[in-house]
Amino acid sequence: MTIRFSNYMPEIVATRRYLHQHPEIGLSEFETSNYVAAQLVAMGYEVTRGLAKTGVVATLCNGSSGRSIGIRADFDALPILEETGAEYQSRNPGVMHACGHDGHTAMLLGAAKILAERKNFDGVVHLIFQPAEENFGGARLMIEDGLFDRFPCDAVFALHNDPTIPFGHFAFRDGPIMAAVDECKITVNGRGGHGAEPQDTADPIVAGASIIMALQTIVSRNVHPLDPTVVTVGAFHAGGASNVIPQRAEMLLSIRSFDAKVRDQLEQRIRGIAEGQAASYGMTATVVYERGYNATINHKAETDFVRALATRFAGAEKIIEMERPTMGSEDFAYMLQARPGTYFFVGTQRTPDDPPLHHPRYDFNDDILPIGTSFWVELAEAWLPAK
């Protein structure tokens, strides 16, 4: 594996651990934004702030080519109480970098410094430090604030660490790589009363349970078997005492899909089942359905380019072709809708028992920092070859 710039490692590790100690939730990453911007200004980048409130774009021009590249790192954290026990554990209780965005940002800052010092490219580099990936669609917000109008990119690229993939391996997939995600809240409106007199009530718990069971038939009986979909009821809230039948019951759903027509079908069936099942029990159901992130769809030419580079960089034995997309979601989808590019995974596994992403004991594997940093440098220089 080609790993250069190892002399930068202590600085990049220090950056990652500083970010880990100071996590901030999406659209409130003010200190993170200040920290990132200050480093980039010191490196000589033209720095623009304020896209999606806390986003940062750093631009570096060299040579005479009109070609350009965009590389994105996300820097928001999650509302999780950390349990790693690390000496650099979060100093913001209840907020944690449990997805590795601290590592993503540290790698891109490391690459930024190397690119600025070497200037071994011909064109324009735009480094996009994005807020609010986890919940608020920071990529979409940055685009709405004029990201690609103000900073034209011939292509955009992003990676995500993955503790389930062997260390140092690169995973690619043409076309769909991550799912669209929607959320739904179903409220069953019943008639409460005494638990000893159920005949005088309209029990929303019974109707809600029927709705939950009927929802399972959408994937098994309505959607084509070759269209990957998930309908998950993640929460069911009703009542608070054994002898009280409540007025209402609430369910929270997460829905994953890839095809736009299937996505419409899922919403239609969820509404129909909730309302129909409730009516069969003499009740009504209110359905609030919210579309979330679109499916992340990679572009073939750019995926082929990065795959070939990774093969030279890491060796063919460390290239993984993903047979299936993941049902997770990613707002880089919006950048890939606006510009060609690709999204890929880099393995960070220490052991098969590593805590997964979004776990309170998850901790980014610092050993991958020089690999990710070096790869971003090689990608920028390969995309914008010096004359």
Choose among 192, 152, 158, 186: nearest CA to 172: 158
For residue 110 the two structure tokens come to 């490391």
Nearest of 129, 141, 159 to residue 15 by alpha carbon? 129
The catalytic residue among 29, 82, 133, 134 is: 133
- Output the furthest CA–CA distance in the chain (Å, rounded): 84
Q: Calculate helix-pair angle for 204-217, 260-280, nearest 10 degrees.
A: 150
Catalytic residue, from 76, 102, 162, 182: name it.
Answer: 76
What is the CB-side half-sphere exposure of residue 277 using CA atoms within 13 A? 25
CA-to-CA distance for 161 and 52, rounded, in angstroms?
24
Measured over the CA atoms of residue 78, residue 79, residue 85 and residue 88, the dihedral's sign is positive
The sign of the torsion formed by the CA atoms of 220, 223, 229, 230 equals: negative
Beta strands at 180-189 and 248-257: parallel, antiparallel or unpaired: antiparallel
- 59-96 burial string, b = 16+ CB within 10 Å, else e? bbbbbeeeebbbbbbbbbbbebebebeeebebeeeebb
Q: Note if 227 is an active site residue.
A: no
Residue 165: φ, ψ to 5°: -100, 140
Per the annotation, the verdict on 76 as an active-site residue is yes
Closest to 216 in 3D by CA, of 135, 259, 277: 277
Q: Which residues are catalytic?
A: 76, 133
